[in-house]
């Protein structure tokens, strides 16, 4: 709800919110990042995430890139 209210967009069933510092009680907007489920799979596969928000942000952005490249390779 915090993410939706701040950005004024409704999340789809394909969207997930990750907590960049790993703390699910930290609802600061700076701690929330939206990923698609396919991006989340790549994020988890890379095993780069931990309790460092900067590293998690970088890993999430890399997951977004990899998901996008994967879709383009498949012609989606």
Percent of the chain scoring above 90 in pLDDT: 37
Asked if residue 76 has pLDDT above 70, the reply is: no
Residue 47 neighbours by CB distance under 10 Å: 8
Mean pLDDT of 20-35: 92
| Residue 51 CB partners (closer than 8 Å, separation 6+) | 21, 22, 23
| Residue 60 CB partners (closer than 8 Å, separation 6+) | 18, 20, 33, 35, 39, 43, 49
Of 23, 40, 33, give the one whose Cα is nearest residue 2.
33
The CA distance from 14 to 29, in Å, is: 20
């Amino acid at each position: 709800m915090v993410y939706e209210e701040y950005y004024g967009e409704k999340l789809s069933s394909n969207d997930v919110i990750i907590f960049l510092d790993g703390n699910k009680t930290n609802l600061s907007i700076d701690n929330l990042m939206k990923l698609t489920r396919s991006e989340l799979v790549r994020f988890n596969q890379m095993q780069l995430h931990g309790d460092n928000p900067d590293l998690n942000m970088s890993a999430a952005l890399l997951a977004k890139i990899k998901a996008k490249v994967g879709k383009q390779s498949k012609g989606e």
